[in-house]
Amino acid sequence: MLPLPPLRQLWPRLARLMFGLVLFGIGLALMVIADLGLSPWDVLHQGISIHTGIPIGTVVIITGFLVLLLWIPLKERIGIGTIANAIVIGLVLDGMLLVLPETLENMALRWVAMLGGVVLVAIGSGFYIGAGLGPGPRDGLMTGLARHGISIAWARAGIEIVALIAGWLLGGTVGIGTLVFAFGMGPLVQFFLKRFSVIPVSPPASE
């Protein structure tokens, strides 16, 4: 378990963490209703949701905890932010999909929702990663593999390609939004992380 900072530093960082995770969940919900393509992991989550009937946010939570099991052989240390990430994003995603329209008919609105979703996910990542309270389950899997000799680029690419293909085969939405997320998320997270981080950190691969 990652050590916690002193109490007077913990609460502001917890607030940043939770704010970031909420923004992240809202951003994912906007991408879902835009129906123009999701991130590789969320293509998988959506595909599983389609075949099981389990809400996509709940699938995000279940998958997050299953991924944490893979941390054990990698000897990654869980932080309070890791557990919050595994739970809060999925809850917010399901909650937002209950109040947002199922689909957007207007193509311009779909593009606004998709691009806005990507930006909100990036801003949320800047806040929650910058809080320094532990990486998300999927981030930690990639950085854990990197610590065992696999470059973070190859670890991220390999895992996300597998998730993308599996999700696509299950019926998850792959499209222009998938490309925008894949190529835009890294630079956007780096941009926002520099502005919202409370400690010097390097941005891991975003979820």
Specify the pLDDT at position 6.
78
Confidence band of 200 (pLDDT split at 50, 70, 90): low
Residue 203 has pLDDT above 80, yes or no: no
Specify the pLDDT at position 111.
98
Residue 198 has pLDDT above 80, yes or no: no
Residue 52 has pLDDT above 80, yes or no: yes
Over residues 1-16, the pLDDT tens digits come to 778 777 778 999 999 9
Closest CA to 19 of 70, 88, 118: 88
What residue spans define the domains of the chain?
11-196
Report the C-alpha gap between 102 and 63 in whole angstroms. 23
Answer whether 67's CB lies under 8 Å from 143's CB. Answer: no
CA 128 to chain centre: 10
Report the C-alpha gap between 136 and 112 in whole angstroms. 27
Q: Cα separations (Å) of 92 from 36, 49, 107, 168, 176?
A: 20, 16, 25, 24, 24
Give the pair of three-digit tokens for residue 30: 């906007």
Confidence band of 199 (pLDDT split at 50, 70, 90): low
| Mean pLDDT score of the chain | 91
Cα 82–Cα 88–Cα 94 angle in degrees, nearest 5:
140
Which residues contact residue 21 at a Cβ distance below 8 angstroms, ignoring those fewer than 6 apart? 84, 85, 88, 89, 92, 124, 128
Answer whether 121's CB lies under 8 Å from 21's CB. Answer: no
Higher model confidence: residue 72 or residue 46? 46
Specify the pLDDT at position 201.
47
Residue with the two structure tokens 């963490």:
17
Report the C-alpha gap between 63 and 82 in whole angstroms. 13
Per DSSP, 159 falls in state H
Alpha helices in the chain (DSSP H): 7-34, 40-52, 56-69, 71-74, 80-99, 107-130, 137-147, 152-169, 176-196
% residues pLDDT > 70 (the chain)? 95
Over residues 64-99, the pLDDT tens digits come to 999 999 999 988 889 999 999 999 999 999 999 999
Specify the pLDDT at position 165.
97
Report the C-alpha gap between 166 and 47 in whole angstroms. 8
Confidence band of 197 (pLDDT split at 50, 70, 90): confident
- Reported residue count of the chain is 207
